[in-house]
Amino acid sequence: MKKIFIALLASVALVSCELEKEPYGSMDTGQITQDPEAVIDALMNGTYAQLKAWSDPMHRAGEYAGDNMMIRGSSTDAFYEFISFSRTPNNGRLNQFWSAGYKAIAQSSNIINMVKEGQNAELDNRLGECYYIRGLMYFYLVRAYGRPYYDNPSVNLGMPLVNGTPDDVVNITLPDRATVKETYEQIIADLKKAETMITKDKGPIFASKAAVQAILSRVYLYMSGTYESPNAEYAQLSIDYANKVINSGEHALLGREQFMKYNTFTPENNPETIFAVKRLASEYSGSDHYYGIGGMYANIGGQGWGEMYASAKYIDLLNETGRNDWRPSKYKIVDARAAFIEPTYRKDATTGAFTEVFRFIKEDGKDVLNYAQLTVARNGNTITCSETIDKVVTTYTLTPVDAAQEIYSITYKDGKTYQGVLDNFITLNRVYPQFYITKASREGEDSHLHSPVISRLGEIYLNRAEAYAKLGNYSAALSDLNTIRTRSIVGGGYASLDASNASLRIDKERQLELAYQAERSYDVFRNGGSLTRQYPGPHAQFEEITAKDYRVIYFIPQRAIDTHPGALTQNPTQ
């Protein structure tokens, strides 16, 4: 008789030719089918647990390939390939992303296959949760390993559709990858099934009807084509599902002040969070904080590598409607999203005083941009800054651009004019000021505890805004866009929206709002856009990565290909 393990960690051969075992004992499938109520909680706990292992590489693959962050230098860690776009199939983090995703698919499928539908409301609700998890996994996998939906979905390859552990795991042949279109059909079928079966809302760390509808809104948005060539049917469906979430009244946007502390709330105590992968403090002890998502973005309380910082591009977006000033003596947040950025200002070890500098970005050779922080001196109304190179001191006079916000310009020694700000000196890691990111840290405590957010209400308004714009309903799109924008920027709403500016403004708001939630790179490419990262960092600063570039999707992990019983086609290598 086939065995299924309590944590249900039996995996399909996509992960390994052997069934994986957990040291919790086992039970016959007959026991499960005969008395599912006695074991369903244990089985579901094992399924949700897989999302924890999945969420880490999911975040890195989605966020690091975007333009919201920079890293202090190259790294031997496999995640550096996400940043550098040097794609290879032998990437351990991509393999973890694939493996954990398919384990969750296998486990949810096994429950679906073993527990008969219609026995009672509680079991049906649990089956609905399984359909949600399976649809969610296929969606996140196909957007990483399959090309954007607008680009020949009937031809381009998506994911292998393997819904459950086969009875005979030795003598099997599994299918090759389905097309992107077929994968999306599987996703939608699973999510719609989940929508009909889930009748209980147990909070945002469990699948709910709203969580299902939120992902369906995003799935249909991904299918809605580009701004230049929209698909009206799918845009309308994205709106329809966004309406279901928004009109349900089950979730509410946080006010501005509360939103600025979003990262500190547990999912259960945040009315805006629709679904999050729950993490516990007990899972992070000692140096474990170094290896969580937030550990790369900041060092908090002596924990974390703190090697990745907010990009200059993202900081410029935050400052677009007014300078955000993080100096302790002048702290002023114009855009609420700036509250998740914390520069590491250096104090004099003896006096405790800060050093005033003029910080700007300069050209530092061909196709190289770097920060400069030049010490400031004041003499009456004249402000100068100076730098010393090879014992030669060069002094520059600052010209006001917006003196009230302390924005100035200088004519540098290379003959070019650079604009920057008066600020305190920010400590450097190598040559880069540390603009720490805390959006993935400080959940309920002063550490890197973080429950990755999959869906929240802020995104749903932006989904609906984009879908309305693709249908040409710019007044409705403007209303939704400003709902989110004015929450963060007081009085910052747009007066109008039309075909000439809708894509720019909506995409910009998505970037600002959803930064550090693993959405940015996918948002760029699914609309046929190009990624540019013309800001300091070790990446190729002046490279333009178009939506047609083969590198916008990841290679199938070589281990998955090697262990797949049957053909498993690799993505194009050029």
Tell me how far CA of residue 538 lies from CA of 32, 70, 557, in angstroms. Answer: 53, 8, 25
Residue 22 clears pLDDT 50, i.e. is over it: no
Instruction: Give one DSSP letter per residue of 287-304, joined into a string.
Output: THHHHSGGGGT--BTTBS
The rounded distance, in Å, linking the Cα atoms of 549 and 538 is 21
pLDDT score for 38: 73
Q: How far apart are CA 451 and CA 48, in angstroms?
A: 13
What was the pLDDT predicted at 17?
30
What's the pLDDT band for 285 if we cut at 50, 70, 90? confident
* pLDDT for residue 460: 98
Q: What is the pLDDT of residues 347-368, one digit of tens each?
A: 999 999 999 999 999 999 899 9
Q: Which residues contact residue 192 at a Cβ distance below 8 angstroms, ignoring those fewer than 6 apart?
A: 216
**Residue 396 contacts by C-beta under 8 Å, 6 or more apart in sequence?**
358, 374, 384, 385, 386, 410, 411, 412
pLDDT in tens, 199-213: 999 999 999 999 999
- Enter the DSSP assignment of 404: G
Q: What percent of the chain has pLDDT over 70?
A: 94
Predicted confidence at residue 28, as pLDDT, reads: 60
What distances in angstroms separate CA 61 from CA 97, 105, 266, 392, 536, one per listed residue?
9, 19, 24, 45, 21
**pLDDT (0 to 100) of residue 120:** 95
Does pLDDT of 8 surpass 50? no
Confidence band of 34 (pLDDT split at 50, 70, 90)? low
Going from the N-terminus, what domains does the chain have, and what CATH number goes with each? 36-200+550-563 (1.25.40.390), 346-425 (no CATH)
**Banded model confidence at residue 165, pLDDT cuts 50, 70, 90:** confident
Q: Which of 299-303, 400-404, 554-558 has the lowest mean pLDDT?
A: 299-303
**pLDDT tens digits along 400-439:** 999 999 999 999 999 999 999 999 999 999 999 999 999 9
Strand partners, 362: 370
Q: What is the average per-residue pLDDT within 468-495?
A: 98
Residues 6+ apart with CB under 8 A from 446: 300, 301
On the question of pLDDT at 29 being above 70, the answer is no
pLDDT-derived band at 30, boundaries 50, 70, 90 = low
**Residue 11 pLDDT:** 39
Q: Provide the β-strand partners of residue 360.
A: 372, 420
Burial class (CB in 10 A: 0-12, 13-18, 19+), 160: buried
What separation, in Å, do the N-terminal and C-terminal C-alpha atoms of the chain show? 47
